[in-house]
Chains A and B, each alone.
Chain A
């Protein structure tokens, strides 16, 4: 009896699959024809893009500062002065890797600030031509992003690479994050645990982010406050209830069941950008070039190798930079007290000089 069952199953499967097997060449032919159609459509789209780009680039001035090249429509926009300010900063950050910008001209559309006409669509970056030199230079620095050269870096960072060194306010913002983030990893990092810093910044292999980033109470709060409705709708009601009643295992399993990347990271883009900045500052001008040459892998070891220091040392340096940038807690300047006393005297004097007894 037991030998007959598998045989019967095989017979049923073969019977069902026999007509499908006959259709395979037809289906393959249809797939091939679709592939031909797709290739043709792609060729047309590429042609259209190239024609549009050619039209956009036509009649434009070319402005160069170092390896930065800008194609811009004629306008009073002070692009040359701004580019001359931006280039040294870009070069200081990227080092020899900044030469890559020579192959990637920026297309800029200077827009009349007073016009009501629609800005022509296209790939060009739109900038009002009455923008001042300083904000324009800052914008040019922010546009100088070499992140696309390394998809791993871009994924880890979660945004563009901004080649900057003057990130005092950014470090202060990261300080507040370290203290206030509802994450055990961030708080342990603040107290001086380098492993926790690596976890909080996702520098190593994040095999189990739910347990690496968050403690039991934080996981429970995450499940109940952020994902409760979603998890109940997706047939996890029992597990959510169990988590609510204090089961650490249920909370952990629920967070592990979320799609990769769905879990909020304890420290944001700003924190990772400051870490990259620390690596470049420690490693010098050629750090970025060396980083691009390192093989793919965990970001911490790649950045440490590029900066030519150990990962612990780099993390320690970043942490001290952040702690040194602690924001001023009470927004009352020292001279503010004297100013306030001055106003008390001024208003008091106004009262003394009032004409109440002369005119009632």
Chain B
């Protein structure tokens, strides 16, 4: 059963998976272009770290985008067919959803391996100044976790009803509206900062996305 579900999802999302794997492979290689042995084009350590850090912003963006697209692609045919096919299967809902979730996770593996392969290759070919080191495995593990978290978040939202999505968006909108009104009225009320701290700092769900994503560091 799992192979059937996986094959179906692969057909729906293969372009996203292939492009994601290529982007994941290319990103680390592009980020170390200044780390060459040629003195004419080699960057100084500070400049090299700056470039690597600038490229590093793209890792969480790629993870979030891939997680979103694969999660949407996982549920889109079910939504289009009003879940008739799923209801016709001799399966409880929780098992069907679990199969979908697991198949989506498997489809994220090429992108994870792409980042790992790209990072290892980039590390092997880069000529680094004294004091700088490469961290390909740590970067790849972090990317894999961020990708899986993003996929899980968007999978949960996509699996829900329109009403559920509306409630979630309504809560977020209400927080923002209350904050804006309080600011306009001159009331010292800071709702967004605590919410942001809870979500973006450890052990918050999106903390994995924050911080510096460095293939090369001190």
Contact = CB atoms under 8 A, between A and B. Distances in A.
Interface of A: 175-176, 178-182, 187, 190-191, 217-218, 221, 326-327, 329-333, 336-337, 339-341, 343-344, 346-348, 350-357, 359-360
A348 B44 contact: no
Contacts of B97: 351-352, 354
Interface of B: 39, 44-46, 49, 82-83, 86-87, 93-94, 97-98, 101, 129-133, 135, 138-139, 141-142, 145-146, 148-149, 152-153, 155-156, 158-161, 163-164, 202-203, 205, 207-208, 211-212, 214, 217-218
Given A180-B45, A332-B142, A356-B161, A347 B217 contact: no
A336 B208 contact: yes
A354 B156 contact: yes
Nearest to A182: B44
A350 B156 contact: yes
B87 to A, nearest CB: 7
A23 B98 CA distance: 104
Contacts of A178: 131
A337 B141 contact: yes
Contact of A340 (B131, B148, B159, B163): B148
B218 A344 contact: no
B164 A355 contact: yes
Please report whether the interface of chain A is mostly helix, strand, loop or mixed according to DSSP: helix
Contacts of A353: 94
A340 B212 CA distance: 17
A354 B160 contact: yes
Given A179-B218, A180-B49, A182-B46, A354 B161 contact: yes
A180 B46 contact: yes
Given A347-B149, A352-B94, A330 B218 contact: no
Contact of A329 (B45, B133, B146, B153): B133
B46 A344 contact: no
14 contacts: A179-B131, A326-B218, A332-B208, A336-B207, A337-B145, A343-B149, A343-B152, A347-B155, A350-B156, A350-B159, A352-B101, A355-B160, A357-B83, A357-B87
B148 A344 contact: yes
Contacts of B159: 350-352, 354, 356
A176 B218 contact: yes
A288 B45 CA distance: 36
